[in-house]
Amino acid sequence: MAFEQHRPRIKNLLSPSAPEIAAAKAAIVQKLSESEVADWQELKLAVYAAQGQQLIQDQQLRNLPPDDQAAYLKWEIAWRLGLASLQADGLVFPMTAMQVQQPLGLTFTQQTSPSSSVSGSLTFEEFSVLLAHKYTIAPKGLEHDAKGFVLHDPDLYLMRINAEDMHARVASALREAVECYRLDLRIAACVLLGSASEGAWLELATTIAASGTLSIPSTLQKELDDGAPRAEIVQARTFDLVRSQCANQIKAANLSMPRWNGMNQIALLLRSLRNYSVHFGGDALEKLDYGSVGVLFLNGSEYFNDLYRLRNAF
């Protein structure tokens, strides 16, 4: 009980973030896409290797300071939770019976006097999950290779977009869009993609205005000051503003003017898909099949990535 006071702090150090769990899932998917079948030890090794770390024997681990033990074991938890998530989504299949993983424990040694010390441990039962000894990749993974998994797992999809501080509503729309696509709800997926695009453009426009580096057109500023800005006007005015005054920022974001023009076309496409899906009427779209929407998702990740790279240039 002498070490219980450390439990909240150590648990915080042990708990992986959402991006860390996503990174673990990506490493697991990559390993299974290469070998099709792997045991849990191989998957664990793949996760640690992706982080540039080597596996440490238990005795070596116990000799490390508690905080260092926690930093190492955080990736143990990340691969456990990542594998459990992939399994729950049907993206990987267990080939053997499920077993509870051993609880994680950390060893403490505290000096009580110059010549003596006391040792103890903390065990974290909450990180024990049911996993199989061996796994295989789902058929959809074999079809599409590792890249195909990003269309079936929100974490992996968001990993392709370099925007850690993305607005929560944009991230939520993208996550739910991937879930809808996975369930073959293509119209719903298009609505959410269009919504996420509108949010990303609004984030870009707001960042540009807050930077104070440019003179914001009155029509755009009026929309930004409105509690319910019209997405179509925000996107159009922001596109024109960047094209006419932001050559340095486009270069800093590693973009080009032709690429920026192309992004405008993608924005228009996503908005037209959203409008078609939300508003009844008009001719049916010719290409709203599963494969075409999948391509839209894969191209869309680069589109969102470029938008947020440009935003970060201000």
Domains of the chain, CATH where assigned: 4-139 (no CATH), 160-311 (1.20.120)
Residue located via tokens 């269309």: 151
Residue located via tokens 């040694």: 109
pLDDT in tens, 79-110: 988 888 888 777 788 888 777 777 788 887 76
Rounded distance, CA 23 to CA 15, Å? 14
Rounded distance, CA 172 to CA 270, Å? 17
User: In the predicted model, what is the mean pLDDT of the chain?
Assistant: 83
Rounded distance, CA 155 to CA 78, Å? 13
pLDDT in tens, 219-271: 999 999 988 899 899 999 999 999 999 999 999 999 988 889 888 888 888 88
99 three-state secondary structure: strand
Rounded distance, CA 159 to CA 182, Å? 17
Do 19 and 123 meet the contact criterion of CB atoms below 8 Å apart?
no
State residue 154's pLDDT score.
84
Do 203 and 170 meet the contact criterion of CB atoms below 8 Å apart?
yes
Rounded distance, CA 163 to CA 160, Å? 9
> In this predicted structure, which of 50-64, 112-126, 223-237 has the lowest mean pLDDT?
112-126
pLDDT in tens, 211-221: 988 899 999 99
State residue 97's pLDDT score.
76
Rounded distance, CA 73 to CA 183, Å? 34
β-strand partners of 253: none
Rounded distance, CA 17 to CA 254, Å? 28
State residue 141's pLDDT score.
47
Task: Say whether pLDDT at 203 is over 90.
Answer: yes
- Angle, in degrees to the nearest 10, between helices 290-311 and 168-182: 160
State residue 220's pLDDT score.
92
Where would I find the H helices in the chain? 7-14, 18-35, 40-50, 58-62, 66-88, 139-148, 154-159, 168-182, 186-211, 218-225, 231-245, 247-252, 257-278, 290-311
